[in-house]
Structure 1
Amino acid sequence: MPFDHKPFLRSLTEAPGVYRMIGEGEEVLYVGKAKNLKRRVSSYFQKNHPSPCIAMMVAQIVRVDTTAVRSEAEALILENNLIKTLKPRYNILFRDDKSYPYIAITGDDAPRLAYYRGAFEKGVRYFGPYPSSWAARESIQLLQRLFLLRTCENSVYRNRSRPCLLHQIKRCSAPCVGLIDLADYARDVKLATLFLDGRHSDVIDSLTVRMQTASDAFAFEQAAIFRDQIRALQTVLHKQYVDSGKDEDVDILVARATGGLVCVNLAMVRGGRHLGDRAQFPQGGAGLEVADALLAFVEQHYRLHPAPAKLVIDGASPEAVREVLEDVLERPPVVALARFQAEKAWAEMAQTNAGLALEARLRETGRAEAQLDALQAALEMAERPRRIECFDISHTQGEATVASCVVWEGEGMKKSEYRRFNISGITGGDDYAAMRQALTRRYEKVAAGESVRPDLILIDGGKGQVGVAWEVLTELGLTSITMVGVAKGEERKAGLEQLIWPDGRPGLALGGEHPALHLIQIVRDEAHRFAITGMRARRSKTRLTSRLEDIPGIGPTRRKKLIETFGGLSGVRTATVDDLCRVDGINRKIAEQIYNALREGTPDLQ
C-alpha cells in the first residue's frame, strides 16, 4: 500500500534533523538533512516532482524515520555518518575525498616540509588540497629549490652527523648539522608559508630587504644568494601568471553528463598557478541531473577541505551553490560563473577534461558490464554480481603468514574495502588453517549483519582451499553466497586457470579469451599482490625485532628507547654506530653489536 503521508506530516517537528526514507524490506532508500524537518520532508509529497529520480523514490517509500537534533551542524554530521554507514541507493555519493594530498609544514624547531595524506594533526600547517600527488610533489620540489627547507623524517634529522645529499645539490640548508642558524631557517619557513598562501609579493619584498641588508654589511656572497632566490622566484611566477596575471586561489567546478553518466570535474588554481584537475563520478542516484551532482559534490568536498577565496562554476546556479556552502562553511567563498578571460579558459579546459573522463568511463563501464554478464552466465548466477571478494594466502616457508581480501565493486577495484589478516596460532605453512582463520574473521561479521555481504567469493587455490572455505561458509550459514576457487593451470600459465566448485563438480576451464576469466584474473592478481606486500612488510618487521631481541644486553627497556629515538625499526637499522651511541644506556660496544647484527646479509649503510 502507498505510504499515507498526511497524518505523518501533521505530527512532524519543525526542528533541524535527519530523515530516512525506508522502502520494502527495511531498505534505506535515501538519507537527508533539514533545517526544518516538517518543511523539507513535506516537499517530497507534492503532485509534481522536479526530477523522475525523486518521483521513482517517493513511489517506493513505505515509512519515513526522522531524528531531531539541536543544530544544523549536528544534522550535517549525522547525515554524513548515516550515508557512509547505510549507503542508500538514491543518495549521490562521491569517492572519499580524504585521498586528496596536502603539503604540510610541521611545528618543530626546524620545521619540515612534507607531502601528506590523512587526518589533520595539531601543531601542523596544511596547504591544499592538491588535485593529484604529482601537483603536490612538484610544489614541494619548487619550495626546496627556492627556500632550501628540509624534507627528512624527524628521526633522521635528529641523528645526522654530516650533511646529506640534498644539501650538496642545494635543496636543503642543512639545519640538522648547524650550517644555518635556526632564526634564519625560521625566516625561510615563513617565506615558504607566505608563498603557499599566495602572497608572492610579500616574499619578494622580504628577500629584497634581506639582500639589501647583506649588501650594506658588505656580505656580498650572502647578498648574491638572496639575489638568485629573487630571480628564481620571478622566473617561477612568470610561468605561473601565464593564465591569470595575479595572485589568486580559485577552484573551478564543472559538471557534464553523457550517456547516462555524470562527471563533476574539479580544477585547482593556487597563487595564479593551475595545478591540474580531478574527475569525480557520483555513485547512485539513477536519472541524476547535472546540477544535483554538482551541488552534492560541493557539499561533500568542502565539508572536509578548506575552500579557496573564489569558486568558478559551470553546471548549476551560483545562488544554489552559495546556499549549500552557507550550510557547510562559516565564511563561504565568492561563487560566480566564469567572467574573465582566464576564468573562461580554465572553465573550458575543465569541461574538455570532464568530457574526456566521461568517454573513458563509458568505455570501461561497457567492458565491465560485458565481463559481469559473462561471469554471471559462466557461474550460473541468478543475478549479475555487484560485489566480488577474493582471498589469497602468502608466507615465506611458513613465516609471517598473511591473508588478503580484496574487493571488486561497481566498476572496479575498491581499495578502501581491502583487508589484510595477520595469521597466528597455526602451524607454519598450513595454508588450509590460514584460509579458515581469514574467512572466519571476515564472514562472522557478515553472518551477524555487521558487514557488507558479497555476491561472489573467489578463493585463490585448488580443491583443498575451496573445501575449507565452504566448511566456514556452511558453519556460518552463508552457503547462499556463490563461491569458486581459481586454480592455476598447467605450468601456471595465464589463461589455463580452472574454476573449482565446492560441490565436487568437474572444474570449469573458460579459456584465455573469455571475458569472465579476464575479470577473475584482475581480481585474483590484485589479491596476490596485496597479500605479498603485506607478508613482506610483516616479515621485515618480525625479523628486525627478533634480531634486536637476540642481541646480548638489549632488553625491553633499551629496545623501546631505540625505537622511540629513531622513529621505528627501520630508523634503527639505518643508524650509524655514532648515532646509536647517543641513545641513553647504549655504549659503543653495544652500539657496534646492534649495528653488525642488523646488517647481516644487507649492504653497509654507514
Structure 2
Amino acid sequence: MTKEENEKRLAYLKSIVARLPEKPGSYQFYDDEHTIIYVGKAKSLKSRVSSYFHTEVDRFKTKVLVSKIHDISYTVVNTEEDALLLENSLIKKYNPRYNVLLKDGKTYPSICITNEPFPRIFKTRTINKKWGTYYGPYSHAASMYAVLDLINKLYKPRTCRQPMTKEGVKAGKYQTCLEYHIKNCLGPCVARQSFEDYQKNIAQAREILKGNTRQILRDMRAEMEQLAEELRFEEAEEVKRKYLLIDSFVSKSEVVSHTIDNVDVFSITNDEKVAYVNYIHVSNGSINQSFTFEYKKRLNETEQELLQLGIIEMRERFNSHSKEIVVPFEPDMELENVVFTVPQRGDKKTLLDLSLMNGKQYKFDRLKQAEKLNPEQKQVRLMKELQEKLGLPKLPYQIECFDNSNISGTDAVAACVVFKSMKPSKKDYKKYNIKTVVGPDDYASMKEVVHRRYSRLLEEEQPLPDLIIADGGKGQMGVIREVIQDELNLDIPIAGLAKNDRHRTNELLYGFPPMSVQLKTDSELFHVLTQIQDEVHRFAITFHREKRSKRALESELDSIKGIGPKTRDGLLNALKSVKKISEANLDTLTDLIGAAKAQIVYDYFHPENTTGES
C-alpha cells in the first residue's frame, strides 16, 4: 500500500469514527477482503473506537491491527450488559483473527438428561440442546462420576436406548432387560415403576445436578417423618437410605458457609500469552461447579478485559443468574441486578482464594502437559527463569560446576560437570588430578583447576560457559572470580550454592559482593540447581575413589619383586582384582604370565607353601 493509499484509508475510517454515536454498543473492524478481524464493545462507541486512531497509541499489536482495518461497522444497544453479550456472541460466531481466543471446554464431558417421556441420564461430550438439558462441563472427571454414581444409586434411571412412551408401556410393547434383573433399573418399561414416580426421581436428580441438595434433604426428612407417623416403615426406610446417600455425598463436597447461597466467584491468572479465568458457583453453601477457561491473548488484553469476557462467557455457558459475583477487583462493567463484591476477609475471601488456587493449578497442569509433549519447552522455561533471577545478559545454555575431593590432602582430585539446556552433557565432563597443591587446601585446588580449565578453553578456542556455579558460598565464588576476571580477564557470570548449618543447600548466591537470590528451595529451578550440585559431588567422589583404589592395587602388586608394570596390568585385566589374583592357583597364573613369574606371584600370596633354603 502506497503512502497516498494509506492516507486515503485512514481518512475514510476517521470519517466513520466522527459519525459514531456516544452510546453503548459493539463495533466490528474489517480487512481489505471485508472479513471481520476484530470485535469490540464499548460504553461509548465514539470514544472507544476513536482511541485506536490516536497518534500516541504505543502498543505494537494495536498498531498492527489498525494497519489492517479497511472498514468499520457497529451495533447500538441499550445497556453495557447488552454490549458485552453481543460482543461475546459475535466473537464466537466469526472467530476474528485479533480477538482473544477462547479454548473452551467442548472436549470436557457434561451430564445430559434427555427430553423423553422417560428421560435417561448419562455423560456426553456432544452438546445438542434439542436432545436434552446439559449440566457441566466437568473439568474434573472424578466429580462428574461421583454425581452420576449418586444418581444411579438413588434413582436407578433407565439406561436402555429404546424410545419409550406412556402409551407404549400401557400397551405392553416393551420387555425388561438385564439391568432390571440385576436391580440397576426399577422397570418403568413394564410399569413396575410408575410414570409419576419416575418423573419425581428425575426432578430430584435435576436438583442434585444444580447443587440444590439442601432442599432435597429437607423434603426427604419431612417425607420420612410423615411415613413413620403413618406406620409405613419400609417406605420410610427406603427414603432414609436415599437421605443418607445424599447427606454423605454433600459432606464430601466443598462446604463453604451455610450463609452463602447462589453466588458466582471469578478469578484470573495471567501470563504473557495466556490468561486462565476460573469460575466457581456456590449454591446452598456448597460449591457445585468449578471450571477454568483458557484465553489465548492476541492484543495484549488487560486483566479487566479478560475478566469481563470470562464473566459473560461463563454465566451464559452455565446459565447462571446469581445476583452476586465475587471478584478479585472491581470490573469496569455493569450487569443488571448484579452486585460485584471484592472481599478482604471472611468466607467470601476464602472462596476467592480457592478460585485463584484452582486457576493456578489449571495453569500448572497445562504447562506440565505441554512440557510432557515438548520437553525442550520446560528447559527453555527454566533457563529463562534463571536468567531473570540473576539478571544474566543471555540465556544460561551452558552451565559448569566444580568440586574438589580429598582425604586429608591425599589423592586430591577435582571434577567439572557441564549442563547444556539444563541437562547433563556427560561427554564434556572433566576430571583433574591436583598437581600444585600440597595438603587439604580446597581454595587453592579450586583456583588451580579453574585456571587449567578456562586457559585451555581459550587456547583451543572452545566455547565458554554462560554461567559458572561454585559448589559453596562466598569463599569459593571469590576464588573463581580471581581466576576468571583478574587473571584471565573473562566476563563469565558466577553463582554459588551455599549450605546451612545442617550441611543442606539452602540458598543461591550471585553478584559482587555475593547476595542471596530470592528463590524458594522447593521450586523446580532450585531442584535443578541442586541436581547440578549433586552431580558434580558424585562425579568428583567417584573419581577420588577410583584413584584411591588404583593406588591401593598398584602398591600391593608393585611390592612383589620381579613383577613389573606390564605383568601387573595383565593380571589385573584378566582377574580384575588383587583378591582374585591372590586366590588363583599356580596353573591359572602360569597360563597368564608364564611359569617363572607365576611362581613368584604365587609364592608371594602363599608364603606358607614356600620351601626356602636354610
TM-score normalised according to structure 1 size: 0.50
TM-score normalised according to structure 2 size: 0.49
